[in-house]
Structure 1
């Protein structure tokens, strides 16, 4: 049996199963990792109110106790991913945990909004992420909106805008940046941008037109995390993750009239 690679996600629960910790744990499993979670938030959706989101933060001490349990293993964590971290106090707790325990292969997915929303859940939390967590990131994976918030730029509308934001996020201390442009920038292709502090690489695939992409961002970041846990280079982990999430989107399904979810086992079964 190969060596067990423990991976941790510090994230919220998406009750629909497409995103959040459900996406992370399913993705970790697909890559042979032993996934664990510290739950930060519970999120439900209201089918009687246009799928509006209800967000229920977990108490800080409860998150702290979860992290204590995760860190009590004799086997070290191979990689860590963060997702929805909804309060300044929780950002500080996570940052302190990463630093105190010298955790490696840290992937920060700076979840600032719920799917379908266009306002930051908590502006003070965005500031704390920028100041406390981004500098600890081996890889940070914002979408276009989140990249603009972290870089404090105007809305991103082009690859050139993505490059400028990536430079500013790298200047905050993140070692590697992947800005998830997805379907927003081009009619024919899904475009992401990778920056390692020296060179840019555009990651482009043909766009899947059915729109069943709920959870794609979380899944992409979780796949990078698993790749790092399995000793891939950052670049190879990102390329592997891009292929993985593209397949998950292509095999996605209509959850209901409001949302379509990615299928995390697509590579294995399809």
Structure 2
């Protein structure tokens, strides 16, 4: 076997969950590559919008145009479209959420980064928790706790005889399933995408060092698939950021609705 293939065989093949936990940096167990990527993602979003709106002009600069386009996309296509007129006050949060999730998702296809923090369940779960608190808070603030809970678990027009069956299902859906599925959808897509890229990339090295000479040219096919799937994964990263924000907006709309 060649040196690259031996290296892959001993340390990285087959790809496993261990590949999602890079070693700690600087001797500190809590500072890892994932931590650094999160800091970079947060800083990138903040700095981008600060620079874009540093000197706003009627004829926008390129960065101002991009920032305004992103905000307009979420404001008009998500906040106003899903929540309604009230959605405008949630547009800044939804835009920030979209940009942060999109940037951290795209780390999975950026050289040297090559892993998304959202491929760790803890980070999508925390983002889902923030949205969970938000939409329940606005609902309770509008209707009061008692009325909000009643509207959340009892569908309009439901016969009382059906309450023992439907109320537990609605509690499960509104208070457990919604945040769980919001987190697991983002996590599973980022986890699966990273694993697939690992399989085709490292698989190419394995094929290059294969003892059967006829298998070695197949490594080019494996690497070509890795390139194609990288482009595909970039699209999935942006799509999942949009879906996460869209579902958050739909939950806010349901919480503010007179009839859930």
TM-score range, shorter chain: under 0.3
TM-score by length of 1: 0.21
Q: Which has the higher contact order (CA 8 A, sep 6+)?
A: 2
Could you say which structure has the higher helix fraction?
Answer: 2
TM-score by length of 2: 0.22
Larger radius of gyration: 2
Could you say which structure has the higher strand fraction?
Answer: 1
